[in-house]
Amino acid sequence: MKPRVLVTEPIVEPVLDFLKTFAQVDVGERGTYSSEQALIDSIEPYTYLLSMLTCPVTKRVMETGKNLTLIANYAVGFNNIDIQAAKELNIRVANTPDVLTEATADTTMALLLSVSRNILLADKELREGKFDGWHPMTYLGLDFRKKKLGIFGMGRIGQAVAKRAVSFGFEIIYHNRKPLAQNIEESLNAIYYSDLELFLKDCDVLSIHAPLTPENRHSINANRLSLMKKGSYIINTARGPIIDEKALAESLISGHIAGAGLDVFELEPKIHPLLLDAPNTVLLPHIGSSTPETRFEIGMLAATAIYKHFNGETDSIPNLVC
């Protein structure tokens, strides 16, 4: 008998076609499973759940899913899943690391270039007919040479950003739970800071790539923003709640922080109204991994975890969280 798989919203067709070769697949409409109750109402007949980051897979959901054996999260993160409950209920959890790395690093650099070189403002004013020829003092931005790019979270994506940034002339500093291996650190000429606040004081640009944990929620708050250099920039392509959005908006409005490029938000999809009106911000609707190739690879990694589990090859799933 084919197992039943619930895919909580549409993903690329080749991935669904692969799942259908061995399973009965149901696909929810976008937004259908963004609440705990919606999942509770539907989950019971399913052996597998392919969930989006927006799906709250709580203990109640898992307890209701009496047939559930594995959750494949369509994301590198898994803060939407109660991992402790999954362990207690003997439900395996897989995520999709690695495949988002390059696309997300590219998006990070796009945000950095946009906010630090006044790209959106210059484009807007040109379209409004305000361009009257070259001027020596207009749209002056950040010269990357010998500036310090601070990377908060030096995992795969952080390292990919560092490699790109070095080619632009940045000096790399980073804060992480522990230092990188010496050979990696030397290849990036990166300097490790164990103290977050000392690290922030030295950043000309802060780029956030840390996972969301209870410990780093609102790590970047009003006090820590005040420690940063006046005129520094912040980029976030990791998780929105790492930044206190209101505090960031106020720091942008005061001019202490010169600009921010954000692809993720604290209460996604809602955005703090102060942030919407803050100067020199580029706000993207969570598009960090938005290339066809990446979205296919994300889906196939999640689908392959389900396939391997179904075929009794759980030990060969490389991306198991628990």
CA dist., res. 264 & res. 283, Å (int)? 8
Task: Indicate the CATH number for domain 101-283.
Answer: 3.40.50.720
CA dist., res. 116 & res. 143, Å (int)? 9
pLDDT at 80: 94
- Taking only the tens place, the pLDDT of each residue in 148-174 is 999 999 999 999 999 999 999 999 999
Task: Indicate the CATH number for domain 4-99+292-316.
Answer: 3.40.50.720
Among 36, 63, 185, 268, which one carries the catalytic annotation? 268
CA dist., res. 65 & res. 87, Å (int)? 14
Which part of the chain is CATH 3.40.50.720? 4-99+292-316, 101-283
CA dist., res. 197 & res. 201, Å (int)? 6
**Is residue 92 annotated as a catalytic residue, yes or no?**
no
The one-digit pLDDT tens for each residue of the chain (322 residues) are: 899 999 999 999 999 999 999 999 999 999 999 999 999 999 999 999 999 999 999 999 999 999 999 999 999 889 899 999 999 999 999 999 889 999 999 999 999 999 999 999 999 999 999 999 999 999 999 999 999 999 999 999 999 999 999 999 999 999 999 999 999 999 999 999 999 999 999 999 999 999 999 999 999 999 999 999 999 999 999 999 999 999 999 999 999 999 999 999 999 999 999 999 999 999 999 999 999 999 999 999 999 999 999 999 999 998 999 9
pLDDT at 89: 97
pLDDT at 55: 96
Among 239, 272, 295, 309, which one carries the catalytic annotation? 239
pTM of the predicted model as reported, rounded to 2 decimal places: 0.90
Among 4, 60, 117, 286, which one carries the catalytic annotation? 286
pLDDT at 77: 84
**Is residue 256 annotated as a catalytic residue, yes or no?**
no
CA dist., res. 119 & res. 234, Å (int)? 16
pLDDT at 170: 98
**Is residue 309 annotated as a catalytic residue, yes or no?**
no
Vertex 9: Cα angle to 34 and 315 (nearest 5): 95
pLDDT at 239: 95
pLDDT at 215: 92
